[in-house]
């Protein structure tokens, strides 16, 4: 074979090899793009688009069973690609109770479940603090402090997230003012906070920043219980936030929504090319008195007495359910509780995974969790601490 013919054949082989490589790269990229979009071959070699389940739990490290099959070498917190449709998810952990629910996986979408909580089956409880002298209690938003009152001007703040009770007592009439300027009224000095509080005891509450606030008529006072000091809160007029969305505006991950409650109808809006667009409108079987955004925008909570309605943003669906009694509250950011005949009943925000935990609780006092480990409640005039996770 002459050299020119050999060179032509060699060039042809190189061209063919490069074409094959390019085609292989293109096919690989297309396959990876399809996989990233959720497409997969099922057992019958049919192309099927899948979704993804992202699941967390407290405590972490729970076993995951999906449709009866335990995931090998996978624990919470993790993500799992699943075929679109309904799946039964069960979480178990040695020494703990179980958690389960049905999830509906949509093609190409991520379904997040970040609120499951498992409780120890064998829970040791010990008296934590003698609260027999107190008639009211209020938990701070971060669940770390408990305000105790006795229908007088004397209060105590109990720190919950410590092994031994740390209590700071204060009397509203003995608080030292830290205001720089003395207010004047009709040419004479205004009344001190002690004089005001002696005439009409204020209402004490926690604000969203876990500050203790005394509210009296139109005035608010910030209480520093550590130093027995008090200061007047000067509230500047806040300019109205301009929003393209009506109602209570919130974020659900990267999207912004507005929620409007009209009698027994909830309307959900989102930004559209021509302005606000209705993302969902649903009629409830009752008229809510309360609408709150909870779970970091994960759900809209509506309530009237023991009637609950929840708009789950993950599935864009309304769930209605009822609490067991009128003695209820939030155990954490995603879980409610009710006290029925002295028994503590807990639920996920949508009413699922109802479990009875402890007995002998005082109905009129709150229940809370700190450090994802300790459960605090009132029983026979004492605050009891019960371990719920190790």
32 and 79 inside one domain: no
Residue 123 lies in a domain: no
Q: How many CB atoms lie within 10 A of CB 282?
A: 15
Judged against a pLDDT cut of 60, whether residue 182 lies above it is answered with: no
User: What is the distance between the alpha carbons of residues 315 and 67, in angstroms, rounded to a whole number?
Assistant: 19
Q: Domain tally for the chain?
A: 4
Judged against a pLDDT cut of 90, whether residue 289 lies above it is answered with: yes
Q: Phi/psi of residue 374, each to 5°?
A: -115, 135
Residue 252 lies in a domain: yes
Q: What is the pLDDT of residues 22-72, one digit of tens each?
A: 888 887 776 666 555 555 555 555 556 688 999 999 999 999 999 999 888
Q: Phi/psi of residue 239, each to 5°?
A: -65, 140
Phi-psi region for residue 380, left (φ > 0), alpha (ψ -120 to 50) or beta?
Answer: left
Q: What is the pLDDT of residue 243?
A: 66
144 and 198 inside one domain: yes
253 and 383 inside one domain: yes
User: What is the distance between the alpha carbons of residues 329 and 336, in angstroms, rounded to a whole number?
Assistant: 6
User: What is the distance between the alpha carbons of residues 208 and 148, in angstroms, rounded to a whole number?
Assistant: 18
> 177 in helix, strand or coil?
strand
Asked whether 93 and 61 are in contact (CB, 8 A), the reply is: yes
Q: What is the pLDDT of residues 239-254, one digit of tens each?
A: 555 568 889 999 998 8
219 and 338 inside one domain: no
Please indicate whether residue 174 or residue 45 has the higher confidence score (pLDDT). 174
Q: What is the pLDDT of residues 85-120, one digit of tens each?
A: 899 999 999 999 999 999 998 888 888 999 999 999
Asked whether 50 and 81 are in contact (CB, 8 A), the reply is: yes
Q: What is the pLDDT of residues 110-148, one digit of tens each?
A: 889 999 999 999 999 999 999 999 999 999 999 999 999
User: What is the distance between the alpha carbons of residues 245 and 264, in angstroms, rounded to a whole number?
Assistant: 20
Q: What is the pLDDT of residue 54?
A: 92
When the pLDDT of each residue in the chain is averaged and rounded to a whole number, the result is: 87
Contacts of 191 (CB under 8 A, 6+ apart): none
Asked whether 156 and 134 are in contact (CB, 8 A), the reply is: yes
User: What is the distance between the alpha carbons of residues 265 and 286, in angstroms, rounded to a whole number?
Assistant: 9
Residue 186's pLDDT band, with cuts at 50, 70 and 90, is: very low
218 and 291 inside one domain: no
- Rounded to two decimals, what is the model's pTM? 0.82
Determine the structural domain holding residue 14 and report its residue range: 3-36
Q: Which of 112-121, 193-202, 303-312, 351-360 has the lowest average pLDDT? A: 193-202
What is the average pLDDT across 174-181?
Answer: 78
364 and 261 inside one domain: yes
60 and 18 inside one domain: no
Please indicate whether residue 273 or residue 102 has the higher confidence score (pLDDT). 102
Judged against a pLDDT cut of 80, whether residue 165 lies above it is answered with: yes
Residue 172 lies in a domain: yes
296 and 179 inside one domain: no
Pairing of strands 317-322, 248-252: unpaired
367 and 306 inside one domain: yes
Give the percent of the chain with pLDDT over 70. 87
The DSSP secondary-structure symbol of 175 reads: P
User: What is the distance between the alpha carbons of residues 175 and 213, in angstroms, rounded to a whole number?
Assistant: 13
159 and 274 inside one domain: no
Judged against a pLDDT cut of 70, whether residue 352 lies above it is answered with: yes
143 and 99 inside one domain: no
Asked whether 138 and 205 are in contact (CB, 8 A), the reply is: yes
């Amino acid at each position: 074979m002459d050299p020119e013919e050999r060179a032509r054949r060699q060039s042809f082989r190189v061209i063919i090899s490069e074409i094959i490589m390019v085609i292989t790269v293109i096919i690989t990229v297309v396959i990876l793009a399809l996989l990233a979009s959720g497409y997969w071959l099922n057992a019958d070699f049919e192309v099927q688009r899948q979704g993804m389940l992202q699941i967390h739990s407290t405590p972490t490290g729970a076993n995951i069973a999906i449709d009866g099959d335990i995931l090998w070498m996978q624990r919470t917190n993790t993500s799992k690609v699943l075929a679109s449709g309904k799946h039964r998810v069960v979480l178990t952990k040695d020494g703990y109770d179980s958690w389960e629910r049905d999830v509906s996986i949509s093609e190409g979408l991520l379904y997040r479940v970040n609120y499951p909580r498992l409780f120890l089956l064998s829970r040791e409880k010990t008296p934590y603090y003698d609260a027999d002298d107190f008639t009211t209690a209020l938990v701070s938003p971060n669940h770390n402090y408990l305000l105790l009152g006795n229908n007088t001007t004397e209060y105590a703040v109990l720190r919950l997230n410590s092994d031994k009770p740390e209590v700071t007592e204060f009397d509203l009439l003995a608080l030292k003012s830290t205001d720089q300027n003395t207010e004047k009224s009709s040419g004479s000095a205004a009344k001190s906070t002690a004089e005001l509080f002696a005439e009409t005891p204020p209402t004490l509450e926690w604000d969203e920043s876990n500050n203790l606030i005394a509210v009296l008529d139109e005035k608010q006072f910030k209480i520093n219980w550590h130093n027995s000091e008090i200061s007047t809160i000067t509230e500047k007029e806040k300019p109205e936030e301009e929003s393209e969305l009506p109602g209570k505006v919130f974020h659900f991950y990267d999207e912004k929504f507005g929620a409007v409650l009209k009698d027994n109808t909830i309307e959900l809006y989102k930004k559209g090319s021509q302005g606000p667009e209705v993302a969902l409108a649903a009629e409830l079987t009752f008229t809510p008195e309360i609408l709150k955004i909870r779970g970091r925008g994960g759900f809209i909570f509506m309530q009237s007495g023991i009637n609950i309605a929840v708009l789950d943003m993950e599935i864009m669906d309304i769930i209605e359910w009822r609490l067991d009694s009128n003695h209820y509250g939030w155990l954490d950011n995603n879980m409610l509780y009710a006290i029925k005949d002295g028994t503590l009943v807990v639920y996920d925000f949508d009413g699922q995974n109802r479990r009875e935990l402890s007995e002998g609780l005082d109905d009129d006092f709150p229940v809370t969790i700190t450090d994802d480990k300790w459960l605090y409640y009132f029983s026979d005039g004492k605050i009891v601490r019960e371990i719920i996770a190790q």
